[in-house]
């Protein structure tokens, strides 16, 4: 799954795409945020130093979920008062893309979903929604800060600041997020997953651990 | 890519080195020298809380020790003592934070020598009522409400993936389904559910390869598995199998060891007509002599007739040919039937216990109501027949072990629930101990 290669319009370093449908990527050399146009790459911003992070996942990590293999191609980094988390952008072998969240080593997989009814402009803890004949309950509403991006994303995403996320759970391991950074808000639905369920390879290594 | 390095920072309070085992997951850490709680979430480490206490606590599992639980290796990176105050009384438990850089965080708790391995759960339990108590359903199991309390962190060591402080307080609620326990902690409107699995001290000691021996366990813990739980099921299934064996034994005796036939013959009876195929003047007659062998033992005389809506009475005497010692007994046989059903049986039998060996004959005197028709009957005398009463006794004796185990489990469960907020009302006036 190696996509086209181009050169960074800022520093000239080669920029390689893992996913042919990527809309945005970052230059590994100069940390420029690059958006693809019809003809070339355009620099739209620069990533500040990424915060130290302890996720075992990195760009290039491979895994499989329910017999579909995937590769991690990019991420969005968020921070809130109780810590930070990564939304890893993953691309499956059928070309579809999803998100693998790693919040202090608790993992959720989710996919952009179309809500059957328009989502309310805001939600409160305890509010319930019925989607796909399951009862989702809002368990937390978090105000987060955008801290940076890395690698390939399915959309342009670089000029954010404070964002509101509502997390939802069911009595099974279902997981949902309403992302209020867009209008109308976006709905992501998926599952809470165990580390071992993801069959991850090419992970980061930690000193003293094998 | 090079491996992620563990870092250490300097304590801004005392200047001593502070090691970080949890990499960038660590948001707060306690200086091992001055016990200040430090904010480690930014490169510029700041003091969150200085230590004012006097007593220091030594965790039973030292920080930095690694142990294997299931297939996963965890390192102990944090420790806190959490206290519950109830009026003039208070108690506390110890909580160890376990870390694996891939699998994340788990906890081990200890109270009075009872241990639990705990993980945070993301799925929501379903609230319901079971056995007259509030309960929750989770992962296919029903957990019964046990107690609720407010727990405060009173002592901390090591690292945490949140900004810990002495004095942190949460409202807790425990639901039990031994050996599991589901607990909720709520603080600031957020509810966190976690699931605990009971561990014994020796299991913890083995997992972390700790020296010496674990502290003894006192009392019965909320989700401690009953030592009789499994044995009750086992003892009843053993009981079932022993009954199957008993039935097989009865069947075996009935089929293959129904006693030794000492005498049998066919007869016919008709009123006014002198007996039968054998000799005799009135309805009474005697059989030829036969031998009863062996030690003193029973004989069973069975009577089989062709009665049809009629009755017959038989007087018997089993007479020793040599000594004249006689065993007298009688039996009625009656059999009636109509369109509504039937009553009685065409056959009957009688057991004569403790008959010494020797040569015997039978005197037989059948009687029937006047005007009765002809009757054919067959007599069979068996020596040493199995006594099925012993099997009945065996059946009762077999009930003792499972019955006893069931009672023991009952008293164990009673002791568990005495510690609960939902203790049966009988013992709620018993006071605290």
Q: Given a cut of 60, is residue B277 above it in pLDDT?
A: no
d(CA A39, nearest CA chain B) in Å: 33
Numbered residues of chain A with Cβ closer than 8 Å to any chain B Cβ = 51-54, 56, 58, 82-83, 104-106, 108, 125, 137, 139-140, 169-175, 192, 195-196, 203-209
- In whole numbers, what is the pLDDT of chain B averaged over residues? 89
- Taking the CA atoms of B256, B258, B261 and B266 in sequence, report the sign of the dihedral they define: negative
Q: Given a cut of 50, is residue B278 above it in pLDDT?
A: no
User: How confident is the model at residue B255, as a pLDDT?
Assistant: 75
Q: Given a cut of 60, is residue B83 above it in pLDDT?
A: yes
Question: Which residue range forms the structural domain that includes residue A30?
Answer: 5-46
User: How confident is the model at residue B5, as a pLDDT?
Assistant: 87
Q: Which of the residues B22, B100, B124, B128 would you substitute to probe the A interface, choosing the one with the greatest number of A C-beta atoms within 10 Å?
A: B124
Answer whether B24 sits within 8 Å of A209, measured CB to CB: no
d(CA A79, nearest CA chain B) in Å: 11
Q: Given a cut of 60, is residue B404 above it in pLDDT?
A: yes
B257: pLDDT confidence band, cut at 50, 70 and 90? low
B124 in contact with chain A, both atoms CB, cutoff 8 A: yes
Q: Given a cut of 60, is residue B274 above it in pLDDT?
A: no
| List of chain B residues whose C-beta atoms are within 8 Å of the C-beta of residue A171 | 123-126, 137-138
User: How confident is the model at residue A34, as a pLDDT?
Assistant: 92
Of all residues in chain B, the percent with pLDDT exceeding 70 is 94
Of all residues in chain A, the percent with pLDDT exceeding 70 is 98
User: How confident is the model at residue B182, as a pLDDT?
Assistant: 97
Of all residues in chain A, the percent with pLDDT exceeding 90 is 63
Using CA atoms, how far apart are residues B334 and B128, in angstroms rounded to an integer? 62
DSSP notation for A72-112? EEEEEEEEETTEEEEEEEEEETTS-EEEEEEETTEEEEEEE
Residue A193 lies in a domain: no
Beta bridge partners of B360: B290, B320
User: How many domains is chain A built from?
Assistant: 1
Q: Given a cut of 80, is residue A42 above it in pLDDT?
A: yes
Across the A:B interface, residue pairs with CB atoms under 8 Å apart total 87
d(CA B417, nearest CA chain A) in Å: 27
Q: pLDDT: is B430 or A107 the higher one?
A: A107
B200 in contact with chain A, both atoms CB, cutoff 8 A: no
User: How confident is the model at residue B270, as a pLDDT?
Assistant: 81
Nearest residue of chain B to residue A194 (CA atoms): B103
B44 in contact with chain A, both atoms CB, cutoff 8 A: no
B281: pLDDT confidence band, cut at 50, 70 and 90? very low
| List of chain B residues whose C-beta atoms are within 8 Å of the C-beta of residue A106 | 104, 120, 122
Q: pLDDT: is A56 or B298 the higher one?
A: A56
B162 in contact with chain A, both atoms CB, cutoff 8 A: yes
B425: pLDDT confidence band, cut at 50, 70 and 90? low
User: How confident is the model at residue B55, as a pLDDT?
Assistant: 86
Answer whether B122 sits within 8 Å of A106, measured CB to CB: yes
d(CA B10, nearest CA chain A) in Å: 18
Answer whether B101 sits within 8 Å of A206, measured CB to CB: yes
Q: What's the whole-number mean pLDDT along residues B340-355?
A: 90
Q: Could you tell me whether strands A128-131 and B260-269 are parallel, antiparallel, or unpaired per DSSP bridges?
A: unpaired
Which whole-number Å values give the CA distances from B42 to A22, B38, B74, B158, in the listed order? 32, 10, 25, 17
User: How confident is the model at residue B15, as a pLDDT?
Assistant: 94
Q: Given a cut of 90, is residue A97 above it in pLDDT?
A: yes
Q: What's the whole-number mean pLDDT along residues B359-387?
A: 87
| List of chain A residues whose C-beta atoms are within 8 Å of the C-beta of residue B122 | 106, 108, 169, 173, 175, 192
A24: pLDDT confidence band, cut at 50, 70 and 90? very high
User: How confident is the model at residue B81, as a pLDDT?
Assistant: 96
ipTM summary value = 0.93
Answer whether B161 sits within 8 Å of A104, measured CB to CB: yes
- In whole numbers, what is the pLDDT of chain A averaged over residues? 90
Q: What's the whole-number mean pLDDT along residues B250-264?
A: 80
Closest to A207 (Cβ–Cβ): which among B6, B105, B120?
Answer: B6
**Residue B228 CB neighbours (<10 A):** 20
Residue A60 lies in a domain: no
Residue A9 lies in a domain: yes
| List of chain A residues whose C-beta atoms are within 8 Å of the C-beta of residue B76 | none
Q: How long is chain A?
A: 210
All structural domains of chain B:
19-225 (no CATH), 230-253+391-428 (no CATH), 258-385 (2.60.120.380)
d(CA B393, nearest CA chain A) in Å: 53
Q: Given a cut of 90, is residue A174 above it in pLDDT?
A: yes
User: How confident is the model at residue A39, as a pLDDT?
Assistant: 77
Q: What's the whole-number mean pLDDT along residues B382-391?
A: 80
Q: Given a cut of 80, is residue B119 above it in pLDDT?
A: yes
Q: Which of the residues A58, A105, A141, A147 would you substitute to probe the B interface, choosing the one with the greatest number of B C-beta atoms within 10 Å?
A: A105
User: How confident is the model at residue B280, as a pLDDT?
Assistant: 41
Q: pLDDT: is A189 or B405 the higher one?
A: A189
* pLDDT tens-digit map of B227-250: 887 788 888 899 999 989 988 888
Q: What's the whole-number mean pLDDT along residues B143-161?
A: 95
User: How confident is the model at residue B266, as a pLDDT?
Assistant: 92
Residue A36 lies in a domain: yes
- Asked if B277 and B350 touch (Cβ cutoff 8 Å), the reply is no
Q: What's the whole-number mean pLDDT along residues A105-125?
A: 93
Answer whether A195 sits within 8 Å of B125, measured CB to CB: no
What 3 state SS string does chain B have?
CCCECCEEEECCCCCCEEEECCHHHCCEEECCCCCCEEECCCCCCEEEECCCCCCCCCCCCCCCCEEEECCEEEEEEEEEEEEEEECCEEEEEEEEEEEECCCEEEEEEEECCEEEEEEEECCCCEEEEECCEEEEEECCEEEEEEEEEEEEEEEEEEEECCCCCCCCEEEEEEEEECCEEEEEEEECCEEEEEEEEEECHHHHHHHCCCCCCCCCCCCCCCCCCCCCHHHHHHHHHHHHHHHHHHHHHHHHHHHHCCCEEEEEEEEEECCCCCCCCCCCCCCCEECCCEEECCCCEEEEEEEEECCCCEEEEEEEEEEECCCCCEEEEEEEEEEEEECCEEEEECEEEEEEEEECCEEEEEEEEEECCCCCCCEEEEEEEEECCCCHHHHHHHHHHHCHHHHHHHHHHHHHHHHHHHCCCCCCHHHHCCCCC
* pLDDT tens-digit map of A128-159: 999 988 999 999 999 999 889 999 999 888 77
* Lowest mean pLDDT across A165-169, B187-191, B279-283, B341-345: B279-283
Cβ density class B407-422: b for 16+ within 10 Å, e for less:
eebeebeeebbbebee
Q: What's the whole-number mean pLDDT along residues B367-387?
A: 85
Q: What's the whole-number mean pLDDT along residues A64-86?
A: 92
Residue A19 DSSP code: S
Please report how many Cα atoms fall inside a 13 Å half-sphere around the Cα of residue B23, on the Cβ side.
Answer: 24
Residue A26 lies in a domain: yes
């Amino acid at each position: 799954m190696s996509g086209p290669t181009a050169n960074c319009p800022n520093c000239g370093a080669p920029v390689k795409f893992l996913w042919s449908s990527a809309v945005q990527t970052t230059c590994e050399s100069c940390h420029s945020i690059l958006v693809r146009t019809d003809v070339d790459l355009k620099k739209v911003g620069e990533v500040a130093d990424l915060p130290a992070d302890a996720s075992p996942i990195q760009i290039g990590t491979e895994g499989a979920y329910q017999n579909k293999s995937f590769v991690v191609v990019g991420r969005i980094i968020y921070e809130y008062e109780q810590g930070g988390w990564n939304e890893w952008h993953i691309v499956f072998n059928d070309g579809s893309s999803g998100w693998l969240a790693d919040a202090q080593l608790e993992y959720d997989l989710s996919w952009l979903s179309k809500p059957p009814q328009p989502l309310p402009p805001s939600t409160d803890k305890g509010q319930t929604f019925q989607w796909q004949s399951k009862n989702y309950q809002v368990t937390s509403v978090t105000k987060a800060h955008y801290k940076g991006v890395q690698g390939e994303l399915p959309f342009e995403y670089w000029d954010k600041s404070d964002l509101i996320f509502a997390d939802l759970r069911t009595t099974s391991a279902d997981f949902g997020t309403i992302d209020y950074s867009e209008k109308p808000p976006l709905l992501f639905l998926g599952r809470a997953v165990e580390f071992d369920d993801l069959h991850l390879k090419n992970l980061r290594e930690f000193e003293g651990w094998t | 890519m090079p491996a992620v390095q563990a870092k250490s920072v300097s304590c801004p309070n005392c200047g001593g080195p502070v090691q970080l085992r949890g990499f960038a997951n660590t948001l707060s850490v306690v200086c091992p020298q001055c016990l200040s709680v430090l904010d480690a979430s930014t490169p510029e480490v700041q003091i969150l809380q200085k230590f004012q206490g006097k007593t220091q606590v030594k965790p039973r599992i030292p920080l930095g020790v690694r142990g294997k639980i299931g297939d996963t290796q965890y390192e102990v990176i944090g420790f806190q003592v959490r206290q519950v105050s109830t009026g003039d009384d208070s108690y506390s438990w110890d909580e160890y934070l376990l870390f694996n850089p891939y699998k994340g965080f788990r906890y081990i708790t200890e109270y009075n020598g009872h241990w639990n391995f705990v993980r945070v759960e993301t799925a929501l339990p379903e609230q319901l009522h079971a056995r007259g108590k509030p309960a929750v359903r989770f992962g296919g199991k029903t957990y019964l409400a046990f107690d609720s309390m407010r727990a405060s962190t009173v002592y901390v060591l090591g690292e945490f993936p949140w900004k810990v402080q002495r004095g942190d307080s949460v409202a807790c609620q425990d639901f039990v389904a031994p050996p599991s326990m589901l607990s909720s902690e709520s603080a600031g409107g957020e509810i966190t559910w976690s699931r605990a699995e009971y561990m014994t001290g020796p299991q913890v000691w083995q997992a972390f390869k700790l020296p010496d021996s674990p502290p003894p366990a006192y009392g019965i813990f909320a989700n401690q598995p009953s030592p009789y739980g499994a044995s009750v099921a086992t003892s009843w299934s053993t009981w079932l199998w022993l009954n199957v064996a008993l039935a097989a034994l009865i069947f075996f005796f009935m089929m293959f060891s129904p006693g030794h036939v000492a005498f049998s013959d066919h007869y016919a009876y008709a009123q006014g007509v002198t007996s039968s195929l054998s000799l005799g003047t009135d309805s009474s007659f005697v059989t030829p002599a036969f031998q009863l062998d062996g030690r003193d033992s029973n004989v069973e005389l069975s009577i089989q007739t062709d009665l049809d809506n009629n009755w017959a009475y038989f007087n018997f005497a089993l007479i020793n040919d040599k000594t004249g010692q006689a065993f007298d007994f009688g039996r009625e046989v009656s059999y009636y039937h109509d369109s509504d059903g039937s009553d009685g049986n065409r056959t009957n039998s009688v057991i004569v216990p403790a008959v010494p060996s020797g040569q015997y004959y039978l005197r037989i005197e059948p009687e029937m109501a006047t005007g009765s028709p002809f009757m054919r009957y067959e007599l069979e005398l068996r020596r040493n027949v199995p006594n099925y009463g012993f099997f009945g006794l065996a059946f009762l004796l077999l009930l003792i072990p499972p019955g006893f185990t069931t009672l023991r489990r009952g008293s164990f469960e009673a002791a568990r629930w005495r510690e609960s907020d939902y203790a049966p009302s009988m013992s709620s006036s018993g006071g605290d101990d």
